[in-house]
Structure formats: C-alpha cells, structure tokens
Chain A
Amino acid sequence: MQLETFNYDNKIVRNFGIATIFWGIVGMSVGLLVAVQLVWPFMNFNTPFTTFGRIRPLHTNAVIFAFVGNGIFMGVYYSLQRLLKARMYSDLLSRIHFWGWQLIILAAAITLPLGFTTSHEYAELEWPIDIAITIIWVVFGINMFGTIIKRRERHMYVAIWFYIATFVTIAVLHIVNSVELPIAAWKSYYLYAGVQDALVQWWYGHNAVAFFLTTPYLGMMYYFLPKMANRPVYSYKLSILHFWSLIFIYIWAGPHHLLYTSLPSWAQSLGVVFSIMLIAPSWGGMINGLLTLRGAWDKVRTEPTLKFMVVALTAYGMATFEGPMLSLKQVNAIAHFTDWIVAHVHVGALGWNGFMTFAILYWAIPKIYGTALHSKKMASVHFWVGTLGILFYAIPMYWAAVVQGLMWKEFTPEGVLKYPTFLSTTLQILPMHMLRAIGGALYLSGALLMTYNLIRTMQKGKLIANEPAEAMALPPIHTNEKSIHRRLERKPALFMVIALIVILIGGMVEMMPTFMISSNVPTISSVKPYTPLELQGRDIYIREGCVNCHSQTVRPFRSETVRYGEYSKAGEFVYDHPFLWGSKRTGPDLHRVGKKYPNKWHYDHLLDPTLTSPGSIMPPYPWLINQKIDTASTAAKITAMRKLGVPYPKEYENYANKDLLQQAKSIVDDLKQSEVDVLSDREIIAIVAYLQRLGTDIKVTEK
C-alpha cells in the first residue's frame, strides 16, 4: 500500500468560522432588540422595517441558519476531511457553498424587514430564496459525498452518519415544506391549506430542530469531544443505537406542536407517543457524550472548551427531557402559547448550539492558525458570563410562562374568568421579560468577548491554509464483509438511501391519511372563500408578521371558549393558504375576533394600540393608513387561489377589484359614522375587513 500525501483545506473552515462569529453577533443583537421591544414598544422605532412582527423572524433565521448554519459547515468541513483522510472534493464547490450561503443570509436580512414572508415559522423566506437554498444545499451535498467517495479511510465514523442524515433530511423537509405557487417575484401561496398546511409546517418545524439544530451537532459532538478530551467516545455501540433510533423517532414527533388543535386526534396521539419515546435516544447520546469525559474530568477544570461542551451536553439533556414533557397533553395545556416554549427553545439554542459552537471555535481556530488561544482566562470568563446569561434568560421565562398560563385559565368562584382582559396577563409578566433581556445582553457580551479573543488569536498565528497530511491509499475490497452494518458503512449512497427511507416512514404515515382521507378534515358548508378585500387584508396580516404574536386557533378548553368563543374546527381553515394558527400568544387569539368589535375599534387599535388598550405593548401601524392596497395583484391572487382549489367563480379575477372597492367603501362609510375620515384604497381598510371576517363563518351571533 502506498503512503499518500495531501492537504486539508483550512481556509474554508476559517471562512465559515468567521461567518459564524459575524452572523452570531448579528442574530443575537437582533434577538436583544426584539426582547426589549416586548418591554418598551417605542423600541419598534415606528417604522415598518423595525417592528417586532418583521424583526422576530429575522432573529430566528439569523440565529438558526446564519449562526448555527455556518457553525455546522465549519465543524463539518473540519471534521469530515480528517475523518476521511481526504481534502474536500472540490475547492470550487466549497467556495460556491460558502458565498452562496452568505448571499442567502443577506437576502433574508433584506427581504424579511421588507415584509416578504411566507409566514411558515423558520421557513419564512420567499420562493426565490427557497430555490437558492436548494441549489446551495445540493452543492454542499455533492462536495460532501465527493469527499466520502475519494476517502482514504474505509469506514465511516458515526459523525459522518449524522452529517449524511442531516443532508438528506433537510433536503426532504425543505422541498416538501416549500411547495408554493408564486404569484409575483416575492409573493407566493402554499399548496397546502389549513390543517394539512399546519401538519406539513410542524413536521418541518420540529424536524428542522431535529436535523439542523441537533443531528449535525451530535455528529460534531462525536468528533470534537473525543478530540478535546483526547479520549475515544465512551461507547461506539451506543452511538449506533443513538443514531438509528434518533433519526427514526424524531420524524414522528411533529404533531406535538398541534395538540388540542383541529388536527385529527390520532395524529396528535402519535406525536405524543413518539415524543415520549424520544427521551431514550436523546439521553443515550447525552450520556455517551458525558461518559466520554470519564477519567478526564480534571481537564474540565482547566480547559474552557470542555467547560462549554459539558454545559452544551447538559443543556441538550435538559431540552430533550423538557420537549417530551411539553408534549404531554396535561403539560401542553398550560405551557403552549406561553413563554415556556420560548425558554425551551433558548435552552437548546443558547446552551446546546451556542455553547458547542463556542467550544469548537475556541478549539479549531488556534489549531488552524498554528498557535495557542490568546487567553484561556478570557474564554473562562466568557463561559461564566454565557452560563449566567442562559440562566437569566430561561428562569424568568419559565416563571412568566407559568404565571401567564395559569392566569389565562383562572376562574372566580362565581364561574367567570378572573382575568378576562388578556392584556392584564401580558403586563403581569413584563418584569420577567426585562430580566430575559438582561440574560440576552449577558450572553451577547460573552460572544463579543470571544470575538476579541479569537481575533487576537488569529493575529498571533498564521492561517495554515493547506495543512499537510498523509495516509495510506484505500485499496479495493477483496474480502467478503459479513456484517451488514459494516458493509453499509462502506457504501455512502446506500447508507443515504436507507437513512432516507427511515426518515420518510414517519412523515408518510402521518401525512398521507390526513391528505387522502376526507373524514380527517370535515368540510363545513357555511365556510366560504375570502372576499378580494379580505384576501388582500390577509396578505397584509402576513406581511406585518401578526402571526408572531397572535394565534388563530381556539382550543377546546372552557377557559378559551369563554374568553374567545367557539373552539376552532378543521373545516374552517380549508381556504387558508397558508394556515395562520401561530405558536405564541403575546397578544390574544384572533380566530373569533370577527364582529367582536366595531370597525372603529380596529382602526384605532392599529393606529395606536394604547388608544383602545392602555398599556398595550403592541407596536402601532400608522403606515397602513398611508399605504394603498395593491389592487394590481388581486387578479393574480384570485387566479392562484383557484388553482390551489379555492372555489372562486370562473373569471372572477376580472371583476374581483370591483367587489373589493365596494366592500372597502362600506367599511369607509361605517367609519365615517364614527367621525373617521379615511380613503377606501388604504391598507388599513383591507386588514380591518380581514379581521372582521375571522371566525365568522360558523359564529353564532347573539340576538
């Protein structure tokens, strides 16, 4: 066998590392901004581009896809080359991947504040960017599989299995959840509607957490933790069990995001059962990681990287225990729509993803610059400041969640809601929101400290762009391998296909009956398509990101039906492309808000929420009075909706604007009676029309 010499590409690792740091600071800063907006509404700055509804998705996208995304690529490009004893397949593809991904992030950072959004959580980017993501993801895949094919190590280490599962599952999730019908350059409607759209979205949303925030990080944990501790992984067998059971079970758990909604109850139950089962592989992985440090715990005292890793693994354990607990219907009934979910997500994001990313940066940057870390002491300070930040973030949020969740449900001995005004429950938890902002500020300051430390480290060393390495050439296989799994490990394409089948099973069992058996979504004859004006209003509602704070699904609890009205039925959402059920109630549910208040109330509320609700933290929307309804798009919207199955009459698009103007005029006339003078072509009229329609198809009006 011949000893071959080659180079590892460290430049691409460095580039993704710098992008991770840069976008991390951006994402966390925007996170801090949205946190303070929820305490001091003036921080919305009274412009459309900086309001909470548009900025919140910018924060989530920046942190998930920019900070964590670049962190994943940094870790994968570093570990993949070394585990396979090969340089990346193509330097050109590496560069296309890097710059393509940064352009996608830049496009997101521009389009989201402009209001171009699909409204699907963690998938808000519009269709042109979706296509770009697909292309760049394929580039990443070709580069990864090309490297696997030209490897010098026969067997694929478990970390690479996690990378393969990440690649294939994210591809499936992204494609299925992005099936949209474009109606303009930056506007599209989802193919799915209502309950079906909700199921697809939360199948995606849950598994984006699983296969973007979890599996690649588990792969990196299995590589970097043994490297940092200089010890092999505790149990390789456990890692195999961890991998297969995790990717199999995770994919089924999505419906736990839709408990007590109008999703068929069998799908909800399935989501709950598999969520509980998910504890086993998740904790198996955490234990495998922590036990890797057996006999090396003394190093944790001195090595900041291991400190970060231990907290990352602990946060992973906490979040993956908490997730299944939140899936229990009894817990979910109190926790859902509250800050508990926000706390849960941030324990994972700040603790698991953030801290592991910091650990890898602290470990890899000095290595590729051929020097030592500028200051271990500074890294330790970062560790403690960051840990304190997580605690200051999570504990107040749990507190706020329990307080608000119980306030929503409390009745007086006389049998009436004790807190009938939703706003009183929001104002009660503002002190906790202030503490959360302090936690976020601490975490961000730790990241800034790390940035300084790493810049000094880079200045001290010199980038080893092409790190020399040598390994034996891989000879052809002559022996008959008996073990199925070992044979499988040698065939990455087959491995990918089997992983694909494993992750498809869960999605298919849950989605196919919901899509194909009509009894799963019973139709209601009184439910009619939105009028053209309501449709335009709905798109403004989507553009402004109202769904970030207001849900549109009333759960079948007495506390909700008394507060909001009749619980929501599946058949009410059949024309909702997309569904707008939301996942958080910073403000009240709006599904039964139609005809609850006069038009004047909505007009005043949108102009200045404190006029109708003193103390409200909702931002004002004065631009809705100045901006005109985009009537030029009405025909295209009606045509698109008809293509998606909404029963608008044939050629209705030709006279839809006539109906639109007529309905707008009736609202303007009504407002005139309340001494409000507004033009009928203004956006505020459309959104008022939409809000007044919500939930009225089956609403019983009191005589």
Chain B
Amino acid sequence: MIIKDMKFYIREGPPQKRHHSSVGRATIEKVPPGLSGLFTHSAGFRDNSVTIEDKRVAADALCMEYTDEEESPTYTSMIRLVTDGDFDGYAHFGSGFNATEVEWAAKEFKSEIVKLLLGIDVFDREYIFQRLWYAQRFFYTGRKVIDLVDRMLWDLASRYTCLPIYKLLGACRERVPAYRNIGGATIDDHVASAHKVKELGFKGCKDHSYRGVKGNTELAKALRDAMGDDFILLHDPVESYTYTEAVQIGRELEKLNYMWIEEPLQDYDIMSLKKLCDHLDLPVLTLEWIGHLGGQPYQTAPYIALGAADIVRQRGVGITGSVKQAQLAESFGVQVHGGDPHTILACSNDPIHEATGVFPRPPDEELDCLGTTVVEDGWLSIAWRPVRPPEPDWDQIERDSITVV
C-alpha cells in the first residue's frame, strides 16, 4: 500500500474565547544560602517568615491572565496520508484562531515532509523512521514529525490487520498497575490528595514537591505514615537538588521504601547522575527533559552504559522509537517508565503506568481494533474488539473544509 499524497483538511471548529493564564503555575525563585542550587519553584522552600500559601499568593500576583470578551472562530486541521489501498493514515494536526496560520502550518509541514514519504509502502515503517530521523537533523523538527507519522502508520497497520498495536508488537501482558500524581500547598494537602488517589484504586502516587531535603523528608514520612506500607510512593523533585542533597534525600526515601526518585538532578549532569546511581540503593529515574528534545533511543545508550540511569524515562520517537528504547534498556536489565500504553503492554520492563485520571471501560459496542486505554481500579489495560472502525468519509470531510492543502 503506497503513499500517494499528503493532504490537510482545515475545518471550522466551535467558536471559543481566547484565553491564556499563568495563574497557579509557580515562578522560579532564589532560595536561602546553603540550600539546593540557586533557584527553586516559588512553591518550594519554607522559611519561618513566609508560608507556602503566602508564596503562592505572591507568585500569582505576578502571574497574568488574558481572556477575550468575544468568542472567535477556531480552525482545526487534519492530516491524511493518501494511499493507493483501502486504508489511509490520518491524525489531528493542529488548531488555532487564525485560519491562515493553520493553513500555513500545514503548507510548511507538507512542503518539507511529503517528499520523504511519497512512493513508500505504509508498512515500511523502519525506512520511514530512519528517513525522518535523519531529516530532523536538517529541519530541526525534534521528535514531533516522527511521532506523528509513525503513529499514523501504526494506526493504519492496526486497522489493516484488525489488531491493536500492542498485539502487533507482540503482547507481553494484559494489564499493569497505575499510579497518579498528587499535589497541594501543604503536607496535609498532599496526604489528603494521596488518600483520594488511593480511594480511586491507584496502586501508588507521586509528588512534585520542591521543599528541599528537610521539607521533602517530612512530606515523605507523612505520606508513608498515612498510606501504609503497601502503597507505592514516588518522589519527583524536578531537578531541584544539588548532588549532596540528592544523596541525603535518597537515603531518607530508602528508609521509607520509595520505589524511585525521579529527575533529582539536571539530565545534562551525566557525571553526577552516575555518582548518584552508584551511591544510592534507591533507583534513580532520568532522561525526561533531555529525551523530550528527541534523541531516543540513541541518547539513552551512553547513559545506561555509563551507569548514569537506573530507570529511563520513555521519550521514544513514535511507537517504533519507544520500542527501540525499551528493548535497549531491557538488554541491560534496566526499566523504563512513561511509555505509550501499547508499548507498555508489549514490553516487560515498563513496570507501572503514570495515569492522568480514571478512564472506565467503554461499552463493548464502542470498542474497535485500535483499542481504548482503560484505567480502572488502579490498572492500565487496553480494551478492544476485532472490529474495524469505519474509514473517514473523505468526500464529506472535503466538503466540510474551508481549505484543503
């Protein structure tokens, strides 16, 4: 099935009020001497004079919020890989308030990428992956293009074979445990948040707390105390420690049986990460930030070989890249975290899913071969039926479009 063309359908969406807000998002602040690096999130360290809530209010005062008075029209674009067969590739591409900009984003993408895909079999995913991988060096597109195209091709293969992607990859299991992130301004807030997560059935929770070693130790003790010994606890300080502090907090978390510490240091600090992995019993998870830029699986390789990562954050490029990254890690006995649900179920070394909510299993008649991600009772699974979804009615979509690129 050969790729013959790339098309973009730009259609009107529902009118919306334009809105942008940074309220609720912490700023970055200096911290007192002797603590951490030089900066942390404003919701971070507690000194005696200022509460975290005060800090948040102060930070919010600096934040900005804009909302239009009137609704404006919106526009969405859909990308389609036109083939000479019964199945096409397609995905949501972009949206915006300006039809011309949405159209031009499509034109720019098409002008650069279409020539790399025309005439290629939709099942030659590895060739396309390698071609787009090399192209991103010249176009500076990062992982976005591969992610989009590779996923479209896997979806097409799924519809063609009437099997979900994880079965095509070779399924490893039908479900994995899931955890949920918690938050709050105070330690009590975090504990309350964790209780709520546990009530929903999740097997564990993860904080993103910037309270320094002392504050985060208090938080960790309070959480372990409140949640009991069997609940999985994870700590993600988002690169807010120095090496020395990371050792200190690591030792505390070891005593409290934490499952891992995530991004204790900058991903770029490969030497300190190696020292930390050597030093701590607690597994150190890294490579979320740096991986986002698009270097996987190639960047993961030296981190693992040098011993600078105990667990690797999945930032694979597309399904193809995620599998490469997971299998690379597997060969070193290293776990990964954060993969696509299909990749998680096809790889043995992605132990737990980071859920963004509860997603109940839809009624059977709504299921198809692409599969629907289900998060229920603290487990991730993919619900599916061997039924193909109908192909889009391209003629109707074309009639509904204000522009076709």
A binds B: no
